[in-house]
Amino acid sequence: MKSTTDLNMVNAYIPGRARMEPATEAMIARRDALLGPAYRLMYEHPLHIVRGEGAWLIDPQGRRYLDVYNNVTSLGHCHPAVSEAICTQVRTLATNTRYLHDTILELAERLLATVQETDLAHLMLTCSGSEANDLAYRIAKVRTGGTGVIVTDTAYHGITDAVSQFSPSLGASVDLGPHVRLVPAPRLYHAEGADLAERFTHDVEAAIADLRRHGIKPAALIVDSLFTSDGILPEPAGLLKGAVDAIKRAGGLFIADEVQPGFGRTGEYMWGFQRHGLSPDIVTMGKPMGNGQPIAGLLASADALAEFGKNSRYFNTFAGNTVSCAAALAVLETIEREKLMQHAAKIGVLLRDGIADLATRHQSIGDVRGAGMFVGVELVLDRASREPDRRRTSQVVNRMRDKGILLSACAQGHNVLKIRPPLILSAEQAGMVINALDEALAETLHDV
């Protein structure tokens, strides 16, 4: 099974398509020669960034770009509290988890306190979300004795060999594993009145049955709880319960991938799965955990982890190092001290409502949806057919870049504007996004 979506090529720079300044062309050529052909640049005109400050990225000429795409620096670029925590710790001690240190224990206590309503009991640390999902899959295989994985049809869960096999958004050039089954993401805008919870449960049950028919024991259902790469699909809350019950009846685990929805981004809860009233077996986290510092990890129930912990050594040299743990603690403290979840809820409503209001003037806006500081804007050729307008979406993304607003696109049709501002985004900055989008939609109307 292959997907026609290629995450690496969405809004990518394509050599020769646009004319560049000589200095930019030279830098791109130097990069290509040194880094090789596998890397990608964003936007028709790639950006050269030398500094970050809050929600802003700044180029060598001092031009400022409002970054409403980069989820990694969830508190904004170079947040003073996180930067100070890193500098203080790196001047004191930078070492690994083979030694006792308080910081990792305090971090574990603080994270587990956010999921007290669940059975989650232990923290394990990695350096990236890909590693976290890879480790979660290893644990699931040991716990269940199975290998089968169920994911949504445009999901992204990481780039390790194991995880890339169940990340269909990586595109047709990255083969899905024979142990992987895809189910349609719950696209409310295209549901035509169907009960999405019932449909999603049925699809997961069918995937479980197909795995078994082929002699494959189910190990896990892994879901990004906001279906980010599938197009940002937050509603209806609670829709996952039946599917989670189905995988558990089949002996598999439920893994909530919180790399993108986690750390207060929804404005309602610390974690996206909490919107669905669930108790996952494993929750994975990514680099937003350290505001960009390479720290990630997972929370797991005692039951999920028992056999793996007994029989499999886990050691990741600098995952959980003192510097990264200090950064992660600073992130948690900042979210609480600055009341960033409440702020995300408030500004997120302003952003969504403002963009929804644009739909009265721009017929290409088919749907506006989101939760907190996560907004998806689906662009269509016409509202009757709801056919995706991929070409215009790409034009809008690049026009917004020219206006100093950085965002991207996602979804099966490459037609959903993906807006993920830092949690610190101000009301004034939200207004800038809305105004620039209004202009970009008007200007691209003549290019279609």
Q: Which DSSP letter does residue 42 get?
A: B
Q: What is the pLDDT of residues 173-200, one digit of tens each?
A: 899 999 999 999 999 999 999 999 999 9
Quote the pLDDT of residue 9.
53
Q: What is the DSSP string of 326-348?
A: HHHHHHHHHHHHTTHHHHHHHHH
Cα 382 to Cα 323, 352, 435: the distances in Å are 51, 21, 22
Quote the pLDDT of residue 48.
94
Q: Residue 220, class by beta-carbon neighbours within 10 Å (0-12 exposed, 13-18 middle, 19+ buried)?
A: buried
Confidence bin at 2 (pLDDT 50/70/90): very low
- CATH 3.40.640.10 correct for 80-337: yes
> Is 259's pLDDT higher than 90?
yes
> Is 88's pLDDT higher than 90?
yes
Q: Which CATH superfamily is domain 7-78+339-444 in?
A: Aspartate Aminotransferase, domain 1 (3.90.1150.10)
Which tokens is 197 given? 């919870």
> Is 80's pLDDT higher than 90?
yes
Quote the pLDDT of residue 104.
95
Confidence bin at 448 (pLDDT 50/70/90): low
Tell me the whole-structure pTM to 2 decimals. Answer: 0.94
Q: What is the pLDDT of residues 410-437, one digit of tens each?
A: 999 999 999 999 999 999 999 999 999 9
> Is 8's pLDDT higher than 70?
no
2-6, 31-35, 74-78: least confident range:
2-6
> Is 304's pLDDT higher than 70?
yes
Q: Which has the higher per-residue pLDDT, 23 or 246?
A: 246
What are the b/e assignments for 76-105, b being 16+ CB within 10 Å? bbebebbeebbeebeeeeeeebeeeeebbe
The residues spanned by each domain of the chain are 7-78+339-444, 80-337
Q: What average pLDDT does this structure show over 126-150?
A: 98
Q: What average pLDDT does this structure show over 87-109?
A: 95
What share of the chain has pLDDT > 90, as a percent? Answer: 89
What are the b/e assignments for 340-366, b being 16+ CB within 10 Å? bbebbbebbebbbebbbebbeebebbb
17-26, 184-193, 243-252: least confident range:
17-26
Q: What average pLDDT does this structure show over 307-335?
A: 94
Give the three-state DSSP class for 255: strand
Confidence bin at 353 (pLDDT 50/70/90): very high
Give the three-state DSSP class for 141: helix
Mean pLDDT of the chain: 94
Quote the pLDDT of residue 40.
86
Quote the pLDDT of residue 393.
96
